[in-house]
Amino acid sequence: MDKQPVNITQNLIKHFADYLRLELSLSDNSVEAYCHDVHLFLQYLESQNLSTETNAIKQDTIENFFAYLYDLNIGATSQARILSGLKSFWRYLLQENLAETDPTVLISSPSLGRHLPEVLTYEEIQKMLDSIDLSQPNGHRNKAMIEVMYGCGLRVSELIGLQISDIYRNDGFLRIIGKGSKERLVPIGDSSLKILFQYIEGARLHVTPKPKFTDTVFLNSRGTGLTRQMVFLIVKDLAEKNGITKTISPHTFRHSFATHLLEGGANLLAVQQMLGHASVSTTEIYTHISDELLRDTLTTYHPRFRK
């Protein structure tokens, strides 16, 4: 059957979103990100008075789009993500016979270099936890959030999506729904579990959950779930109050969780499983952080290295 050319429209992007969600089982966050990338490309085509017909878009169109992004000071990491979104979009078009060729196939992702994420020390994390005012309405909730993010290495999306029914209290495990709706069991320590239930069986009882959020662990004052931005602002505020000048986000606690485990001698494959990484190569970045720590320790304390 001949492939029928179509124009990239908002309606086509909506069908692409349905494909990502229903056929690939991607999370809502991933679907939103991929569709945003295609929206951005469509806006570029319209702003340059270029054809939006799928068969009219060639490799040089894509290359010129990324040159445009570069001129807007869009960084290499963001460009790589946008390219990934466009490649997924053209895979969908080819599968649905909506395009004849893939203009992204020979486009290489920009070089990202090695980026070592920011990591908090155990003392910095403890300082943040100790500074939380438990007399405030959200004090116990915020302390439980930090404890679970650091104690279990969760992504922020996994934290705000955590359900009470996902907590196996007697066994000391959390059932986590990660990227691509993949499930994993993550151990939770006794101290973190204790702080978590001090919130669930205490402060949380004073909030009336909306019907869709009766099983959601972390609630706002209106009885609905927290957003990623709300968690980011809570973490940023805690860091500023404690004089921590590092650039941190909720994900920093996940980085710190992995780094501290590997520094303590944990098995790399076990850490990979707890983080829910599809490939061990993703987890290996934390071994480089540990290597840097060892080098700094040697430089500081060994007489042959001291200046």
Domain spans of the chain, in order of start? 10-95, 122-300
For 26-44, the pLDDT digits (tens) are 888 889 999 999 999 999 9
> How far is the C-alpha of 162 from the C-alpha of 166, rounded, in Å?
7
The CATH fold assigned to 122-300 is hpI Integrase; Chain A (1.10.443)
For 130-145, the pLDDT digits (tens) are 999 999 989 999 999 9
pLDDT surpassing 60 at residue 305: no
pLDDT surpassing 80 at residue 179: no
What's the whole-model pTM score?
0.59
Strand blocks (E) in 126-171: 167-168
Closest CA to 283 of 258, 249, 266, 253: 258
State the pLDDT at residue 248: 85
Taking the CB of residue 44, how many other CB atoms lie within 10 A of it?
Answer: 16
pLDDT surpassing 70 at residue 249: yes
Residue numbers annotated as active site = 155, 179, 251, 254, 277, 286
Tell me which of 3.40.50.460, 1.10.150.130, 3.20.20.70, 2.40.128.30 is the CATH number of domain 10-95: 1.10.150.130
Closest CA to 109 of 84, 89, 73, 86: 84
